[in-house]
Amino acid sequence: MTGKIKGTGACPGDRLVTNEDLAEIVETSDEWIYSRTGIKTRYLSTGRGTSEMAAEASRRALENAGIHPEELDLILLATSTPEYCFPSSACQVQEKIGAVNAAAFDISAACSGFVFALQTACSFLASGSFQRILVIGADDLSKITDWSDRKTCVLFGDGAGAVVMEAEEGGLFRGVMHSDGRKGRVLTCLSRSEGNFLTGKKPEYGFTSMDGQEVFKFAVKKVPECIDQVLSDAEISKEEIRYYILHQANERIIEAVSKRLKEPIEKFPMNIREYGNTSAATIPILLDEMNRAGKLTRRDKIIMAGFGGGLTWGAVLLEW
C-alpha cells in the first residue's frame, strides 16, 4: 500500500510585488536580485493569513481530486508561520473547509516542511491508519520578514499549496528525512522571547535572519546526497526520473544541484521567478502549476526535495 496524489491546489498571496517595488523601500535593484536569485516578483498577502491561504489551496485541491472534505481523515499542515500557538493551522483549515471527520495537526520543519509532511502522510497511508490525507504547505513569510533588511526581504513571498493523497495498492514511495540542530543558527526566526513575571522581560518578536552563504553550501551538498540516497534505496536510476521538484529558494542552488547530479536542468522545473521563496509552499505550488498545465503523466516518477531551517532536508520519490 502506498499513497497517490489525487489532486492539487494553490493559493498565492493576493498582491504582486516586483523587484522595482522593493527598490523603493530598500537599497537594491532588479539586476542584483535577479542575477543572484532568479526572482523577479513575489506575491504578498495583505489580508489572508496562513490558514486562509491554506484553506483556499485545499478547496482547490479537493475539487481537483473530486473528493469531498468530509471524506478526509487526516490534515497535515507544514508551516513556520501559524497564526496561533494553538489551535494549529491544520485545525483552522479543518474548520474552514468543513473536514469534520479529519484529525489535524501542524508540522514544523521550515522549508523542508512539505516534504516532511508528505513522508508522514505516505507512512500513515502505507500502515493503513488513514485512507485520505490532505497535505498542505503554507507560509505567510511577509509577517516575519524585516522589511528594512535588504539581505532577506528580497527573497520571500507568501502562499499555500495542497495535495490530496489516497491510499492505493502497489505504486512507489521512498523517502529520506534528515536534521542537524547543531547548525540551527544558520537560519533562524525567534517566535517570542522568554519572559514571565519573574524575569520581567517584555515580549519580543523576531524576524528571519540568515547566513546566506552557509545556506547555499548546505543546500548544494545535502540535496544531491539525499536524492542519491532515495534513488539507491529504491534501486532506480536517474534516467527513470521525469522531474526533480526542488524547494524554490534560489535558482542558482537548483542549477548547482542539477550539475552535481549530472542531470539536465530541463528536469528541474522552476517558478521562483514569479513567486520568490514561499518556504513550505514552494513545492506544492509548483506541483499544482505542473499538474494543471498537463506536464505530469500517470506513472511518471518524480522526486521532491526540500531543505531549510533546523537545519532540515529530505527527499521523496513518488509515482504520479
Q: Please give the positions annotated as active site.
A: 111, 247, 277
CB of 29 to ligand ACO, least distance (A): 6
The DSSP secondary structure of 11-52, one letter per residue, reads EE-SEEEEHHHHHTTSS--HHHHHHHH---EEEE-SS--HHH
Lookup: cell for 12: 498565492
Q: If you search the block for the grid coordinates 519580543, which residue do you land on?
A: 204
| Overall size of the chain counted in residues | 320
Which ranges of the chain would DSSP assign to H, the alpha helix?
19-23, 30-37, 50-65, 89-97, 113-127, 150-153, 212-234, 251-261, 272-275, 282-292
Is position 215 an interface residue for ligand ACO (rule: CB under 6 A)? Answer: yes
Residue 40, interface with ligand ACO (CB under 6 A)?
no
C-alpha torsion sign, points 285, 107, 320, 59: negative
Position among 111, 230, 246, 272 found at the interface with ligand ACO (CB under 6 A)? 111
- Distance (Å, rounded) from C-alpha 56 to C-alpha 160? 8
In Å, how far from its chain's centre is CA 254?
A: 15
Q: How far is the CB of 310 from ligand ACO (least distance, A)?
A: 9
For residues 274 to 293, the per-residue mask of contacts with ligand ACO, x marking binding by CB under 6 A and - elsewhere, is: ---x----------------
- If binding means CB under 6 A, how many residues of this protein chain bind ligand ACO? 22
**Binding of ligand ACO at residue 273 (CB under 6 A)?**
no
Calpha distance 51→42 (Å, rounded): 19
CA–CA dist 94, 108 (Å, integer): 18
Q: Comparing C-alpha atoms, which of 237, 254, 236, 253 is closest to residue 245?
A: 254
Asked whether 139 and 279 are in contact (CB, 8 A), the reply is yes
Which 8-state DSSP code applies to residue 149?
Answer: -
The letter for the amino acid at 136 is: I
Q: Is 37 in the site for ligand ACO (CB under 6 A)?
A: yes
Q: Which residue is nearest to ligand ACO (CB)?
A: 212
Residue 252 CB, shortest distance to ligand ACO, in Å, is 6
**CA pair distance 237, 43, nearest whole angstrom:** 37
Q: Does 32 bind ligand ACO (CB under 6 A)?
A: yes
CB of 240 to ligand ACO, least distance (A): 28
Determine phi and psi for 48, rounding to 5 degrees: -75, 130
**Piece of the chain touching ligand ACO by CB under 6 A; list 29-37, 41-49, 264-272, 283-291:** 29-37
Q: How far is the CB of 24 from ligand ACO (least distance, A)?
A: 13
- How close are the terminal C-alpha atoms of the chain, in Å? 15
- In the complex, the smallest distance separating the C-beta of residue 48 from ligand ACO, rounded to whole angstroms, is 22
| From 65-73, 195-203, 213-221, 229-237, span contacting ligand ACO (CB under 6 A) | 213-221
77 near ligand ACO, judged by CB under 6 A:
no
- Residue 220 lies near ligand ACO (rule: CB under 6 A): no
154 binds ligand ACO (CB under 6 A): yes
CA 277: distance to chain centroid?
A: 9
155 binds ligand ACO (CB under 6 A): yes
- Cβ distance to ligand ACO smaller for residue 178 or 252: 252
Candidate list 6, 15, 40, 150; residue touching ligand ACO; CB under 6 A: 150
Cβ-based nearer residue to ligand ACO, 32 or 268: 32
- Applying CB under 6 A, the residues found at the interface with ligand ACO are 28, 32-33, 36-37, 111, 150-151, 154-155, 187, 210, 212-213, 215-216, 249-250, 252, 277, 307-308
